[in-house]
Amino acid sequence: MKIAIASGKGGAGKTSVTASLARVWDAPLVAVDTDAEAPNLHLFLHPTMEQSRTSWLTVPEMDPEKCVHCEKCRDICTYKAIASFAGRISLFPDMCHGCGGCFAVCPSGALRRGRRELGVLEQGTALEGKVRFLMGRTRIGESMTPPLLREEHALLARMLEEIPADALLDAPPGVSCPTVTVTRDVDAVLLVADPTPFGFYDFTLAHKAFLPLGRPMFVVINRAGAEGNEEGDEAVRAYCREHGLPLLAALPFEREAAEQYAGGRLLADLSPAWRERFVALRDALREAFSRAMEEKEGGHA
Ligand code: SF4
Ligand code: SF4
């Protein structure tokens, strides 16, 4: 099973949950950091990187000698990456989305295939070699993340084909394009809910944003039971009840745990009680996933 661990905002605890679930996973696993604009899963899992490859986007380059100034390339480019000034064609490769339209309409072969670096994909192993690790990292200054994420997903598919395994994907925060790119290609989504007023609002946004994708969704409350925030916990629970969202666990707020986590320690390593919480979450996730698959198959029968 491929599970995206997502939240409507940064700081809800999805990386923390992903890392600790990886620690207690008792089957072959690939841990994937898809938060390519600010990857940090490696800070907790400390992988040994074994391979790295650069990801490129095909963008046009022009041979002015061959250009007949028909402007067809400019007309087809909806991203304004091609402009015409005083009859001269100018290209803005940083704005190119790589659709290939300009190559298709150019009548004179004036456009060559150039490339723009999107970022890098790194592979390795973590947790004493028990977990395979994959991470995307967007080039600084690059504005487009989805093509890199699609390549990362294709690489993950090959890794899973070579050695079958489960995959836990630490999703980008929020509900923008990168997050949808990641969540549309998984089997289920585990939503990490931060029960503060802002966190609750963003959690509901995430639920609504992912709903059209038709993936089973489950919930884990992070930092539950914080003093003075009883209403926040109850708001998440009530929302889950109202929307039929399985609430798999409520991880308690503990100041000491938060401090240790800030220092890069895995929650699952803090104490036997913390480890047990993640073992229980792992088992609840598997069970909820199997139930969701059975319901889906029952619905198709
Ligand atoms: S490949 Fe597409 S987005 Fe890029 S310059 Fe050509 S038409 Fe525009
Ligand atoms: S489509 Fe080709 S020939 Fe026409 S303006 Fe663009 S580069 Fe020049």
- 72 with 135, same domain: the answer is no
Burial class (CB in 10 A: 0-12, 13-18, 19+), 16: buried
Residues 6+ positions from 47 with CB-CB distance below 8 Å: 124, 125, 126, 133, 135
Decide: 68 in ligand 2 pocket, CB within 6 A: yes
- 230 with 256, same domain: the answer is yes
- 31 with 63, same domain: the answer is no
- 99 with 124, same domain: the answer is no
In one letter, which amino acid is 233? D
How many angstroms separate the alpha carbon of residue 26 from the centre of ligand 1? 46
Residues 6+ positions from 107 with CB-CB distance below 8 Å: 68, 70, 72
Q: How far is CA 259 from CA 44, 52, 252, 253, 262, in A?
A: 14, 32, 14, 11, 5
User: What token pair was written down for 105?
Assistant: 């309409």
pLDDT at 196: 87
Residues 6+ positions from 76 with CB-CB distance below 8 Å: 101, 102, 104, 105
In one letter, which amino acid is 94? D
- 77 with 134, same domain: the answer is no
Are residues 260 and 270 in contact, defined by beta-carbon separation less than 8 angstroms?
A: yes
Domain that holds residue 202: 2-55+120-300
Burial class (CB in 10 A: 0-12, 13-18, 19+), 301: exposed
Count of structural domains, the chain: 2
Distance CA 120, CA 39 (A): 12
Are residues 131 and 125 in contact, defined by beta-carbon separation less than 8 angstroms?
A: yes
Ligand at minimal distance from the CA of 71 is 2
- 203 with 80, same domain: the answer is no
Ligand 1 site-directed mutation target among 58, 72, 94, 99, most atoms within 8 Å of CB: 99
- 214 with 86, same domain: the answer is no
How many angstroms separate the alpha carbon of residue 119 from the centre of ligand 2? 29
Going by C-alpha positions, the residue among 124, 136, 108, 102 that lies closest to residue 48 is: 124
Convert the pLDDT of each residue in 220-246 to its tens digit: 999 888 887 778 889 999 999 999 999
pLDDT at 99: 93
Decide: 19 in ligand 2 pocket, CB within 6 A: no
- 176 with 82, same domain: the answer is no
CATH of the domain at 259: 3.40.50.300
Going by C-alpha positions, the residue among 172, 175, 234, 171 that lies closest to residue 8 is: 175
CATH of the domain at 75: 3.30.70.20
Ligand at minimal distance from the CA of 79 is 1
pLDDT at 12: 81
- 167 with 63, same domain: the answer is no
| pTM: predicted TM-score of the whole model, two decimal places | 0.90
Which residues of the chain register pLDDT less than 50? none
Are residues 6 and 14 in contact, defined by beta-carbon separation less than 8 angstroms?
A: yes
